[in-house]
Structure 1
């Protein structure tokens, strides 16, 4: 049994297929040569958005319209390219379903079951695969070495609060071990594990859902500190690979 820290790793995100990339490689190389780097997410976003309004076929949009949108400066005076202007317009108009085609998959480790209960309330656009307390045994003598736990920042270095918190975790571990030793199956013994017990999961979400999640759970918006930290981790991971999304993580309408 150990105290753990949250870790978020981006496993995968939307990428152009080899077939599609081969059709637009000349254009993308030319744009890159001229200093306009186009991410895969931007190409998907333009394809989805323009499909709703263009006479061109979806497979043709980047090839036929990419130079117009990615190769010219924005006409709204807010910077970036015409593609950035178009995406800003779409986000502000509320036509955000077009950003659901861009997805991200994360490995999330060392978060509490309390956080999990909050996270799974965000069901639309999210998929979860969660470490099971039924099939994974958390006894002190099992491969897990006992359950890990998350210590809230509010209990850290707070007089005797931290010591009492850790003692409570140790008592929960000994109770779980006792039940297992006396023949109680892990699926029933898990009932004594606390909300602070750590878990691991894989989360996949589309861009629209991640932006909306951030808007509701970001720091300073009334969210609990642990899930606010997770929201920031997800935002940072998304923006790192798709920098153009950064402007939309404050409620999705900037």
Structure 2
């Protein structure tokens, strides 16, 4: 399994340009983001939350309220800035629709079709583009070189006999697929012979609220199958590399 974050919430150049009209936002060099150490996602989260409660326009909130939230230590004694305190308060109060404005796009590669079936049960807040077994031909002589497959640890870690049986099954299914194709069965029908273990690739975009809900349900120790539990941890790792302030949110679910 390979999981890579390929895109996430970023402020537009136009938004940065609009901040120039607020003198309090500009420093002698650079801008307040350098001093605040705030990420673009935090700026979006602040804008979303304060839009609900502030007389200021959404486009004005970072410039007019940013110092108050990003420039001061959290008053609840739990660490971070006043922005962190606000984010904690909103999350605990259940106003998590404001987290839907933060999104992440992942390349998820080399996972099984069994995992795909579980993953796509999560629909609200998720978007998927999946490698097609109809249009990507999986024959031994095709560009793919045949289908790849995922091996469960329960098979890999057993005595060699279990792995031998599993590999033999995969070879037989590949041969069956190839034979069906040789008999002029179209790929979209020949794929019916491919197993749940067959590997696929997914481009997935998810908002933060949906991702935290997914993690709460699929992380290890919640009865999830090993592959989707591993995916949950890898998604968390990718997100917190670029948005380390979100680490406690994953811990809390």
TM range (shorter): over 0.9
Q: Give the structure-2-normalised TM-score.
A: 0.94
Query: Match of 1:80?
Result: 80
Matches within 5 A, 1:80-99: 80-99=80-99
In 1, Cα distance between the equivalents of 2:157 and 2:88?
Answer: 45
Preserved contact between residue 111 and residue 199 of structure 2 (Cα < 8 Å): yes
Q: Give the structure-1-normalised TM-score.
A: 0.94
In 2, Cα distance between the equivalents of 1:175 and 1:126?
Answer: 35
Shift of the 30–239 alpha-carbon distance from structure 1 to 2, 3 Å rule, reads same
Query: Match of 1:136?
Result: 136
Query: Match of 1:192?
Result: 193
In 1, Cα distance between the equivalents of 2:137 and 2:180?
Answer: 12
Matches within 5 A, 1:216-231: 216-231=217-232
Deviation at 1:205, TM superposition (A): 0.2
In 1, Cα distance between the equivalents of 2:252 and 2:117?
Answer: 22
In 1, Cα distance between the equivalents of 2:94 and 2:251?
Answer: 14
CA RMSD of aligned residues (A): 1.3
Q: How many residues align?
A: 246
Determine helix, strand or coil for the equivalent of 2:202: strand
Deviation at 1:19, TM superposition (A): 1.0
Preserved contact between residue 45 and residue 102 of structure 1 (Cα < 8 Å): yes
Query: Match of 1:3?
Result: none
Deviation at 1:162, TM superposition (A): 1.1
In 1, Cα distance between the equivalents of 2:249 and 2:121?
Answer: 22
Shift of the 33–47 alpha-carbon distance from structure 1 to 2, 3 Å rule, reads closer
In 2, Cα distance between the equivalents of 1:27 and 1:83?
Answer: 20
> Which ranges of structure 1 fall in alignment gaps of 5 or more residues?
1-5
Query: Match of 2:70?
Result: 70
Please, which of 3, 17, 20 is the counterpart of residue 8 of structure 1?
3
Preserved contact between residue 31 and residue 71 of structure 1 (Cα < 8 Å): no
Deviation at 1:136, TM superposition (A): 0.8
Query: Match of 2:207?
Result: 206
Cα deviation 1:63-117 (Å, max 9, x = unaligned): 0000000000000000000000000000001100000001011111000000000
Cα deviation 1:27-64 (Å, max 9, x = unaligned): 58454554x30000000000000000001000000000
Query: Match of 2:177?
Result: 176
Cα deviation 1:95-143 (Å, max 9, x = unaligned): 0000000101111100000000000000000000000011110000000
Query: Match of 1:236?
Result: 237
Determine helix, strand or coil for the equivalent of 1:176: helix
In 1, Cα distance between the equivalents of 2:252 and 2:75?
Answer: 24
Preserved contact between residue 33 and residue 39 of structure 2 (Cα < 8 Å): no
In 1, Cα distance between the equivalents of 2:217 and 2:33?
Answer: 36
In 1, Cα distance between the equivalents of 2:52 and 2:193?
Answer: 53
Deviation at 1:23, TM superposition (A): 3.0
Preserved contact between residue 23 and residue 63 of structure 1 (Cα < 8 Å): no
> Which ranges of structure 2 fall in alignment gaps of 5 or more residues?
none
Deviation at 1:155, TM superposition (A): 0.6
